[in-house]
Structure 1
Amino acid sequence: MRHSAILKRQDRIATRSGARHEPGRQAQLRRLAVLYTAPVVLLLLVLIAYPLLRVVWECVRYVNLVNPTVRGFAGLDNFRTVLQDDDFLPALRNTMIWTALSVAGEYVLGLASALALARNVPGRGIFRALIIVPWVIPIVVAGLTWSWMLTPEYGILNHWLVQLGIIRQPIAWLGQPSTALFTVTLVNIWRSFPFYTISLLAALQAVPRELHEAAAVDGAGTLMRFRVITMPHIRTVSLTLILIHVIWTAINFDFIWVMTQGGPLDASETLPIMIYRYAMQQFDVGAACALASMMMGFMASIVFVQYYAARARRPA
């Protein structure tokens, strides 16, 4: 009994001592957390926060790269310059077509390839490794390679299409206003769909196999199982992929610039190309920042709408 009382007394002393030292440990952990995250926070402030604030500041000011006397508060003049530009509406239309077709094609092709790779077929591991190759190729390399392959003079694709009898003579796919934007879009789909494939494949592997087996026993066909079981399980991943790629594709500059530079006759010019022309060709940084701010606000609104829609669907 005496030994038990001594042990209880020691436990009470240890508990009081731990309670006294707990605030000190928590403060130390907070200091360590601040110390470890400080470099990342500083990097984000320098590389992201400062440029964004600079864009917002300069969108309401007159800024010219070659004429330092052009300066001062502009108010909404830069926005009026953009909206009254004859190239704005065509560029906006091209951006919407480029984004919608790219994201839709990437998702459909990515889902189809993910469903195929989810099956137990011979050589599945090799195909899973090869499918990612287009996505890891640098955009400049992919764009230049496809530009060479599509040239009417020596492009291998034109040669194959003529040999197969699909076309009568080589076509300047990137040199015609009617085909330039759609050609670049198809090449972008080819390069980007593997990201969908890998992401959707991971989501498909998390779908319980027992659900498919039980549904098959109950007489549900392949399409019914896909609609009722597979799609609900990959909905979150699908919506996230689509949201991310809508933003990535809409603000994409380098792929179109490498292949067509927005031509011919501005047939493939999108809003990012227009921002580049304002800043680096017309040297009107104020107008470029105004258009960039408009795009940034639109992208932020998409994120907020998707976030609050997801919260509304979430069960209480």
Structure 2
Amino acid sequence: MAIRNRVASIRRATPRHTHLGRMAALFLLPSAAFILALIAYPLCNVLWQSFHYGNLVDPATRGYAGLDNFRTVLEDEDFLPALWHTLSWTTLSVGGEYLLGLTAAVVLAQPIKGRAFFRGVVVVPWVIPIAIAGLNWMWLLNPDYGVLNAWMVRLGLLDNPHDWLGQINTALPTVTFVNIWRSFPFYTISLLAALQAVPADLHEAAAIDGAGPIRRFWVITMPHLKAVSLTLIVIHIIWTAINFDFIWVMTEGGPLNASQTLPVMIYKYAMQDYDVGAACALASMSMAFMASLFFVYFYGNRRMRS
């Protein structure tokens, strides 16, 4: 009798659940249409264009290209240097952001005087638009009237002002440093929130057992930061690898392509060479790599949880 009543109640509840599911789908429909229009369609169009000839100034240049666009990119003498610059830029940026963000988070988690003020100030670089931050740093680093060059010469760190953005050996490291300065607050905020969730009694118990601050940090704190750290690193690897703004604003990929990355190369293919097919082919290759990285992280994280 109890089973029969349970089945009857489920049957009565099913139409209600179906109605709620339909209502939820109806409310999600505008968002789905928005995503399809602004994300899915452009991505599919890029994939389509990568297998076709296209030129912005010559409409007659069109037709199926097969793998010719990909061959054009891979045979370009600037491709391997740009790939190396992208790897260097991404690795150094993400590594520097994480280390600086973790250090700032640990410091701001301590009961220091003025902690609330410093927690507010640390966010300032992150909220500054990239274009404005890039232009400000260009002025600060200018060899003729830059404040930082003047200070370093006055302090004896430099004999003469240095053109940080105009020299082949320093252009990319300088832009990387500026990118770290702007992005580390995001790490700081996220890691600081995770630090607040670490149980204080674990630290107290470890201290009673004789564990020092460094050992407590590696044994207790870091395991609690693992999930947040992995998420931050993967997200920022993708964001940094496809970042175009900072490098273009500060160096435009120069001097002599010394700071040219793959996104800058895509822009030059499309807007300077007007070769839409090659630009879309390189964009598709970059997109495939980012998607592979995401799926590796997603399924790896899923297996670790299971």
TM range (shorter): over 0.9
Work out whether 1:84 is the aligned partner of 2:100. no
User: Residues of 2 paired with 1:61 and 1:142: CA distance?
Assistant: 38
Match of 1:271 in 2: 262
Once residues 214 and 17 of structure 1 are traced to their aligned partners in structure 2, the CA distance between those partners, rounded to angstroms, is: 54
For residue 24 of structure 1, report the CA deviation from its aligned partner: 2.6
Q: Give me the whole-angstrom Cα distance separating, in 1, the residues matched to 2:210 and 2:8.
A: 65
Counterpart in the other structure of 2:145: 154
User: 1:1-316 maps to which residues of 2 (within 5 A)?
Assistant: 21-314=12-305, 316=306
Alpha-carbon distance in structure 2 between the residues aligned to 1:23 and 1:99? 51
Deviation at 1:216, TM superposition (A): 0.5
CA separation in 2, counterparts of 1:126 and 1:272?
37
Offset, 1:242: 0.3
**What is the CA–CA distance in structure 2 between the aligned matches of 1:87 and 1:117, rounded to whole Å?**
44
How far apart, CA to CA, are the structure 1 residues paired with 2:7 and 2:188? 56
Paired residue type of 1:70? T
TM-score after normalising by structure 2 = 0.96
RMSD of the alignment, in Å?
Answer: 1.8
Gaps of 5+ in 1: 1-13
> Of the two, which has the highest radius of gyration?
1
Counterpart CA distance in 2 for 1:300 and 1:16 is: 45
1:86 and 1:17 mapped to 2: Cα distance? 72
CA distance change for structure 1 residues 218 and 175 in 2, over 3 Å: closer, same or farther? same
SS of residue matched to 2:259: coil
Bigger mean CA offset, 17-26 vs 160-169? 17-26
Deviations 1:2-51 (A, max 9, x none): xxxxxxxxxxxx99996564233222211210121111101100010000
3-state SS of paired residue (2:63) = strand
Identity among equivalent positions (%) equals 63
**Which piece of structure 1 moves more, 294-303 or 304-313?**
304-313
The one-character-per-residue Cα deviations of 1:277-302 (angstroms, maximum 9, x if unpaired) are 00011010000000001001111111
Paired with 2:161 and 2:45, the residues of 1 have a C-alpha distance of 48
Q: Where do 5+ consecutive residues of structure 2 fail to align?
A: none
Q: Deviations over 1:243-296 (max 9, x none)?
A: 000000000001100000001111000000000000011010000000001001
Give the distance between the partners of 1:16 and 1:289, measured in 2 at CA: 56
CA distance in 2, matches of 1:96, 1:177: 17
The Cα of 1:130 is off from its aligned counterpart by 0.7
Q: Compute the displacement of 1:304 (Å).
A: 1.5
Question: What CA distance in whole angstroms lies between the structure 2 residues aligned with 1:188 and 1:59?
Answer: 30
Give CA-to-partner distance per residue, 1:76-115, whole Å, 9 cap, x none.
0000000000100110010011000000000000000000
Work out the CA distance in 1 between the residues paired with 2:7 and 2:88.
67
